[in-house]
Chain A
Amino acid sequence: MRHHLILRVITKLLVGTIFLFALYVQFHGDYSPGGGFQAGVIMAAGFIIYGLVFTLDKAQQVFPPWLVHKLIALGVLLYAGTGIYSLFAGYAYLDYAALDPHHPEHGQHYGILIVELGVGITVTAVMVAVYYAFASRAPILSDEDW
């Protein structure tokens, strides 16, 4: 892709915007359409377009595969951990009121933010992992043989 100047410049401009938009969708998700799933996919799309234009190696320098694998699990742990915290606080599993017992509705806010962050991290990592897994496999046939 060395010669595609336009693609490279546009991508460089876009990637940052995509990440910002992902963060907006992520953290504004409790008031408007959005949330972890959507934000995660948008975030992953940023990495994937970077990988497509600047080659896989460059993308893996930014977001190494081992980190991707850990983040998949870490997001789930963040989600489950919120539930476990409320469990230990004497509330039902994932009862967000436990996060702020005096103002349950504040607790709801914190709860949904943390949980959605967990979802976002996992979805981002999973989508990138899927891309890495497929893209990093060397084709057994060259392009002409198809």
Chain B
Amino acid sequence: MDSGTLDFIVGHLNYWLFILLMMTGLYIVVAKGNLVKKIVGLNIFQTSVFMLYISIGKVTGGTAPIFPLDMKVDPDVVYSNPLPHVLILTAIVVGIATTSLGLALIIRIREEYHTIEEDQIAEVENAVLKSEQWASEQAAGEHS
């Protein structure tokens, strides 16, 4: 491996980690049948995006973007970019809302279905669907 490739890999470390986290999260959402695990996956997925945003706000050699109290800003000091952090603060709040809403829904689902496994829920729903079909066929039969 020449130094160019190595630089590419090391220099883009935050992106590699972002991709890894993102794929982990997405995989959990898709592959797991447990509703709570899906929410966990969703959280990992969202966190990966937070990490992406926060890491692009970093300026090499930059310090925390807080001005001194007397507002005499030294022009030589490099500040990191605070904007992505602010954006992600909003996204984190959205994430919390999504998570708590998702968990609240799961509690209600558990109370109604007595399970939080996707395949068992599907069984219950299919049974309901069958009975509905039967009812509508029955009704159609009476009228034909």
CB within 8 Å of B: which residues of A? 31-33, 37, 130, 133-134, 137, 140
Tell me whether A33 and B103 are in contact in the complex, defined as CB-CB below 8 angstroms, given that A140-B110, A140-B111 are known contacts.
no
With a cutoff of 8 Å between Cβ atoms, the chain A residues found around residue B111 in the complex are 140
Tell me whether A37 and B93 are in contact in the complex, defined as CB-CB below 8 angstroms, given that A137-B107, A140-B111 are known contacts.
yes
With a cutoff of 8 Å between Cβ atoms, the chain B residues found around residue A140 in the complex are 110-111
State whether A33 touches B64 (Cβ < 8 A): yes
Is B100 on the interface with A (CB-CB < 8 A)?
yes
Task: Provide the B81-110 mask, 1 if CB < 8 A to any CB of A, else 0.
Answer: 000000001000100000010011001001
Interface magnitude class on chain B: 10 to 19
Instruction: Pick the contact of B100: A37, A130, A137 (CB < 8 A).
Output: A130
Secondary structure type dominating chain B contacts: helix
Task: Provide the B28-66 mask, 1 if CB < 8 A to any CB of A, else 0.
Answer: 000000000000000000000000000000000000101
Complex Cα spacing A140 to B109, Å: 12
What would be 15 A-B contacts, judged by CB atoms less than 8 Å apart?
Answer: A31-B69, A32-B66, A33-B64, A33-B66, A37-B89, A37-B93, A130-B100, A133-B104, A134-B100, A134-B103, A134-B104, A134-B107, A137-B107, A140-B110, A140-B111
Question: Considering only CB atoms, which chain B residue lies closest to A130 in the complex?
Answer: B100
CB distance from B84 to the nearest CB of A (A): 15
With a cutoff of 8 Å between Cβ atoms, the chain B residues found around residue A134 in the complex are 100, 103-104, 107
With a cutoff of 8 Å between Cβ atoms, the chain A residues found around residue B66 in the complex are 32-33
With a cutoff of 8 Å between Cβ atoms, the chain B residues found around residue A137 in the complex are 107
With a cutoff of 8 Å between Cβ atoms, the chain A residues found around residue B100 in the complex are 130, 134
CB distance from A33 to the nearest CB of B (A): 7
Top 6 closest A-B pairs, CB basis? Answer: A130-B100, A37-B89, A140-B111, A137-B107, A31-B69, A32-B66
CB distance from A56 to the nearest CB of B (A): 16
CB distance from B96 to the nearest CB of A (A): 8
Complex Cα spacing A18 to B114, Å: 39
With a cutoff of 8 Å between Cβ atoms, the chain A residues found around residue B69 in the complex are 31
CB distance from B109 to the nearest CB of A (A): 12
With a cutoff of 8 Å between Cβ atoms, the chain A residues found around residue B107 in the complex are 134, 137
With a cutoff of 8 Å between Cβ atoms, the chain A residues found around residue B110 in the complex are 140
Complex Cα spacing A143 to B111, Å: 16
Q: Which of B64-79 contact A (CB under 8 A)?
A: 64, 66, 69
Complex Cα spacing A134 to B36, Å: 14
Complex Cα spacing A134 to B106, Å: 11
With a cutoff of 8 Å between Cβ atoms, the chain B residues found around residue A33 in the complex are 64, 66
With a cutoff of 8 Å between Cβ atoms, the chain A residues found around residue B93 in the complex are 37
